[in-house]
Amino acid sequence: NAGVTQNPKFQVLKTGQSMTLQCAQDMNHNSMYWYRQDPGMGLRLIYYSASEGTTDKGEVPNGYNVSRLNKREFSLRLESAAPSQTSVYFCASRSWIGSMETQYFGPGTRLLVL
Amino acid sequence: DAKTTQPTSMDCAEGRAANLPCNHSTISGNEYVYWYRQIHSQGPQYIIHGLKNNETNEMASLIITEDRKSSTLILPHATLRDTAVYYCIVRALNNAGNMLTFGGGTRLMVKP
């Protein structure tokens, strides 16, 4: 199993450009998440998808859209990038068996908006 | 979810036990204590979780006080690769947000 994969690993954008961050998991998990992490800070939830076909806003959804394409894939789109969106973006999926709840994180996408 | 308080940073000698404390004095009866860590430039990694009993797995031990207001994560023989930020998270299963709330965590530096 590859776990959670993210593409691209690095990206530089100019203000106003758009891009889509890709995330896929091969663990058959229902729930998937997008977080951002700014330097020296904890993670903040942008959007999540509790199951295929549903998405919900997290703490910091402004400036982002998401698509749960199928059970495996959950993409994050920046329609008009701003310097404030410079961050590391992590995708995660959630495993839940009894009381055992675990989130598995991808390696991250490092985004710089100039 | 209950708020947690952790020291900002700690040092530990390689090969010694690392004991990372966490206060969660407002924890509710249905809330679990989770520990994750984040090694530099990587995504967070699950370590262990518990409700009220002490727990042990291949990575660490979790000691929860009887009143559940605090806990300690123990890495029994710390190695240089254990240098990371350790997050203590308290949350209920089935919470509506379905999210993990990461605070500042404890930056553990394991030194040779």
* pLDDT of B2: 64
Section A25-35 average pLDDT: 93
Those residues whose C-beta lies under 8 Å from the C-beta of residue A110, and which sit 6 or more positions away, are A9, A10, A11, A88, A89
**SS3 at position A83:** helix
pLDDT tens readout for residues B32-55: 899 999 998 889 999 999 999 899
Those residues whose C-beta lies under 8 Å from the C-beta of residue A63, and which sit 6 or more positions away, are A78, A79, A80, A82, A84, A85
* pLDDT of B104: 80
* pLDDT of B96: 43
* pLDDT of B103: 78
Selecting from A42, A92, A105 the residue whose C-beta is nearest the C-beta of B105 gives A42
Section A54-79 average pLDDT: 95
Chain A residues with CB-CB distance to B97 below 8 A: 45, 48, 58
Instruction: Please choose, from the candidates B67, B72, B60, B90, the residue with its C-alpha nearest in 3D space to the C-alpha of residue B7.
Output: B72
Q: Do B31 and B53 touch, CB atoms closer than 8 A?
A: no
Selecting from A48, A94, A99 the residue whose C-beta is nearest the C-beta of B51 gives A99
CA–CA gap between residue B19 and residue B111 (Å, rounded): 15
State yes or no: pLDDT of A40 exceeds 80.
Answer: no
pLDDT tens readout for residues B2-22: 689 999 999 999 999 999 999
Q: Do B103 and B77 touch, CB atoms closer than 8 A?
A: no
* pLDDT of B91: 83
pLDDT tens readout for residues A46-64: 999 988 989 999 989 999 9
Query: Least CA distance to A57: which residue of chain B?
Result: B97
Q: Is A45 exposed, middle or buried (0-12, 13-18, 19+ CB in 10 A)?
A: buried
Nearest 5°: the CA angle A29, A34, A40 is 130
CA–CA gap between residue A38 and residue A47 (Å, rounded): 16
How much of chain A exceeds pLDDT 70, in percent? 98
Chain A residues with CB-CB distance to B98 below 8 A: 31, 33, 48, 50, 56, 94
Smallest CA–CA distance, residue B16 to chain A, in Å, is 27
* B42/A50 Cβ within 8 A: no
pLDDT tens readout for residues B49-80: 999 989 999 999 999 999 999 999 999 999 99
Q: Do B55 and B48 touch, CB atoms closer than 8 A?
A: yes
Those residues whose C-beta lies under 8 Å from the C-beta of residue B95, and which sit 6 or more positions away, are B1
Q: Is A95 exposed, middle or buried (0-12, 13-18, 19+ CB in 10 A)?
A: middle
Selecting from A4, A48, A106 the residue whose C-beta is nearest the C-beta of B99 gives A48
